[in-house]
Structure 1
Amino acid sequence: MATRSAGATLGRAAVLAAASAAGCVAYGAFIERNWFTLRHERVPILPPGSAPLKVLHLSDIHLSLGQGQKTRWLAGLAGLEPDLVVNTGDNLSHPRAIPPLLAALRPLMEFPGVFVPGSNDYYAPTLRNPFVYFTGPSTLPRSGRARRQPVVLDTAALHAGFGMGGWVNLTNRAQSVVLKGIRFDFSGVDDPHLNREVYAGWPRGSASADSAPHVKIAVAHAPYQRVLDHFTADGADLILAGHTHGGQVCIPGYGALVANCDLPTWRAKGLTEWETNGRTTPVNVSGGIGTSRTAPFRFACRPEAVLLTLTARS
């Protein structure tokens, strides 16, 4: 009798564990992945005496078809009236998602913006074992995936849509933009996850340009340490990146288990300080707005956009 009782107890425990796991998956798939939030950060990097300036950081939208809740939320972000929009890539999860993406972002294109691509602006996501993310950072080779050729996306059409909306392409480029009377020098790179980054330095101006008030902002999709080291050593005042999805599936009270790059997992989302060779630069890593089409769930890691209020240095 005791053996049967113990077996029944174990059976009930297994059923409860399975039900709990199924509930967590259902929550992550149907509730949290559409529970969008706006994270607020304050960064004191503007010249002394400057008025605050709002930067809306978007990343990892991963838009697929039929995601009306996401597109409506994106369009509604225009109500924040940002001074600048920064898009750090991975906008797509479906080859036919470009028109609805551009329609959703059109209200935000009323404001100045800059962008860089991620791997899912070049290739549609492919089905893969999620446990590979626990084996270390994975990188697509320059020629594409070795085992399975992914669907190539119309990157040119995506970038043309952004450009027609007035956003500046920073793919391995540097450019200056004046906002509220302050010169912002941007330097961006193509996706480091694809090993495509080429550093363009900072925009070149007049001989006295460096002595005039300005702010240097670096933009990348994937926050690999080599990229953060380069931009920090090169004098960036702020680095913006995405790619990590904040871990996407996190443990409450602990945080991310993976970052999908060599960034420490505790830095997978949020505003932190990156230090190299005696220099320190604030780095904002967005937790991302979407998920891969092949892994459509989040847990303890709500999808987010980030509103950074830049303020004057003291």
Structure 2
Amino acid sequence: MRPLLAASAAVGLTGLGAGAAAHLWSRHVEIHRYTLREFELRILPPGTRTVRVLHLSDIHLMPDQDRKLAFLEHLSALRPHLVIDTGDNIASAASVPVLAQALDPLLRRPGAFVMGSNDMYEPAPKNPARYLLPDARPEGLTERTELTLPTPELARRLSAHGWKDLTNARASIELDGLEVRLVGVDDPHLDRDEMPPVAEPAPPAPPHGNVLRLGVAHAPYRRVLDAFVADGTDLLLAGHTHGGQLRVPGIGALVTNCDLPRKQARGLSDWHGVPLHVSAGMGASPYSDYRLFTPPEATLLTLRAPRSGPGVLSTPNPC
């Protein structure tokens, strides 16, 4: 029996060692491995010029996160034609002016945003086992009304130079002959989403006929994605999932913190024939500031007109 006991002890120690190594990596290394992912989509009308869309999400900024702020500032060098922010920008009231300063060059480009729950309520410690429940939301979350973060100030800062606030709203942006029609909802994770009505009469197509329709939400709940598809959306954009935050090789994301299938927790996929991009986001709650096999990210989506048919190319690029 002694050799068996020794072998069992060795296996146990190996497991503990691997767990400790994974914790150190996810908490102190990978959480800072900021990555730029790139995808190409051929969804623009024929003859339309290329459009570069920068998708930001789940920054969860604390004001002292210098490496995250440096990455945000670096993104302006991409010179995107359009910036879409899918919420959960801050983790502290003190982060609002710091975020605005880091984003300033991007805020001066055409853009739009929606809010997430962490733009409204201060983060709090949670039992991570809750995420394995069918509905991981803490009791009473959707009934909260009094904000604990300066959400109106955040919205004012984000829209100061023209970004569109898509909180249960529609908007339009003109990009060099392309009309981008946007529809967005308030955070579905808080049950605040209300699909905005279509304008009556519906806006006519511009003379050039080039229209791109984007559906924007923080949390990619199925009901919201279905509503966007029914609305005629050409591209769906969301965040919230953190890509699972902890991923297991060969399995992928264990949870999505919503009813989206786990295999669609990050990246580009298809939702009833419409491209869906879910950003794994740039951060995490300060009470669970770690990532494993899903580094923090921003995404550059290059939209082009089709050659002979739709196609997708995906290339992740560490930045």
Counterpart residue type for residue 17 of structure 1: G
Matching residue of 1:59: 57
Superimposed CA distance per residue, residues 60-91 of structure 1 (whole angstroms, 9 cap, x where no aligned partner): 00011321000000110000000000000001
Match of 1:119 among 117, 120, 133: 117
Superimposed CA distance per residue, residues 112-142 of structure 1 (whole angstroms, 9 cap, x where no aligned partner): 1100000000001111110111112334643
Distance across 1 between alignment mates of 2:200 and 2:32: 43
Matching residue of 1:14: 12
Farther off after superposition, 186-195 or 61-70: 61-70
Counterpart residue type for residue 183 of structure 2: S
CA contact (8 A) 1:60 1:89 kept: yes
Distance across 1 between alignment mates of 2:83 and 2:200: 23
Distance across 2 between alignment mates of 1:167 and 1:78: 15
Distance across 2 between alignment mates of 1:125 and 1:206: 40
Matching residue of 1:153: 149
Q: Does residue 1:219 correspond to 2:201, yes or no?
A: no
Match of 1:31 among 29, 32, 56: 29
Gaps of at least 5 residues in structure 1 are none
Q: What's the Cα RMSD here? A: 1.9
CA contact (8 A) 1:175 1:202 kept: no
Counterpart residue type for residue 36 of structure 1: Y
Match of 1:197 among 182, 193, 196: 193
Counterpart residue type for residue 270 of structure 1: G
Superimposed CA distance per residue, residues 211-260 of structure 1 (whole angstroms, 9 cap, x where no aligned partner): 83211111000000000111111110111000000000001232101000
TM-score, normalised on structure 2? 0.90
Q: Does residue 1:288 correspond to 2:281, yes or no?
A: yes
Matching residue of 2:297: 304
Matching residue of 2:105: 107
Distance across 2 between alignment mates of 1:224 and 1:264: 10
Matching residue of 1:142: 142
Distance across 2 between alignment mates of 1:169 and 1:219: 11
Distance across 2 between alignment mates of 1:205 and 1:305: 37
Q: Does residue 1:237 correspond to 2:234, yes or no?
A: yes
Distance across 2 between alignment mates of 1:153 and 1:210: 40
Matching residue of 2:268: 271
CA contact (8 A) 1:186 1:202 kept: no
Match of 1:76 among 66, 69, 74: 74
Counterpart residue type for residue 71 of structure 2: W
TM-score, normalised on structure 1? 0.92
Counterpart residue type for residue 92 of structure 1: I
Farther off after superposition, 8-17 or 58-67: 8-17
Q: Does residue 1:176 correspond to 2:172, yes or no?
A: yes
Counterpart residue type for residue 37 of structure 1: T
CA contact (8 A) 1:185 1:202 kept: no
Gaps of at least 5 residues in structure 2 are 309-319
| Count of residues paired in the alignment | 304
Q: Does residue 1:209 correspond to 2:205, yes or no?
A: yes
Distance across 1 between alignment mates of 2:262 and 2:193: 22
**Change in CA separation of 1:238 and 1:201 when aligned onto 2, cut-off 3 Å:** farther
SS in 1 for 2:232: coil
Counterpart residue type for residue 58 of structure 1: L
Counterpart residue type for residue 233 of structure 1: A
Q: Does residue 1:167 correspond to 2:160, yes or no?
A: no
**Change in CA separation of 1:210 and 1:226 when aligned onto 2, cut-off 3 Å:** farther
Farther off after superposition, 244-253 or 11-20: 11-20
Matching residue of 2:46: 48
